[in-house]
Amino acid sequence: MLFYTSGQIYIFLAALFAGIVIGVWYDILRIVRRILAAGMWISLAADIAFGLGAGLIAICCLYISCYGEVRLYSIIGMLMGCFLYLATVSRLMRAAGRNIRSRMEWFQKKFQKN
C-alpha cells in the first residue's frame, strides 16, 4: 500500500505535465487560426485537431503513468496543468502570435504595393 500511495505523486505530476502539453497544443492551434484568419472550416479542423490531440495526450499520459487506469486525481492534475499553463505562459505565447501576425501583415502590405 505504501508504494501505491507514493506512486500517486508520480501519476499526479505526469498528469500535470500532460495538462501543460495540452495547453501548449491549444495555444499552437490558436496561433495558427489567428495567423490564417480562420473561417468556419479552418476553425472546425483546428477544433477537431485539438480534440484528437488532447485525447491522445491524455490517453498516453494515463497509459504510461498508471497503466491506463483513470483516477480522479489524474484528471484533476491534467486540468490543473492546463489551467496553470493558460494562466501563466500562455500570455507570452499569445503575444508572440500577435507579433507574428502583425509581421506577416506588414510583409503582405509591403509586397502588395510593389
| Confidence (pLDDT) at 32 | 85
Total residue length of the chain: 114
Model pTM above 0.85: no
**pLDDT of residue 60 exceeding 90:** yes
Which stretch of 1-10, 35-44, 63-72 has the lowest confidence by average pLDDT?
Answer: 1-10
- Helix and strand totals (H; E) in the chain: 4, 0
Distance CA 91, CA 45 (A): 24
Please calculate the CA angle 54-60-66 and round it to the nearest 5 degrees.
Answer: 125
CA nearest to 19, candidates 65, 6, 38, 32: 65
The residue ranges of every structural domain in the chain are 2-113
Q: What is the pLDDT of residues 75-94, one digit of tens each?
A: 999 999 999 999 999 888 88
Q: Kindly state the percentage of the chain with pLDDT values over 90.
A: 44
Interior/surface letters 68-82, b for 16+ CB within 10 angstroms, e for the rest: eeeeeebeebbebbb
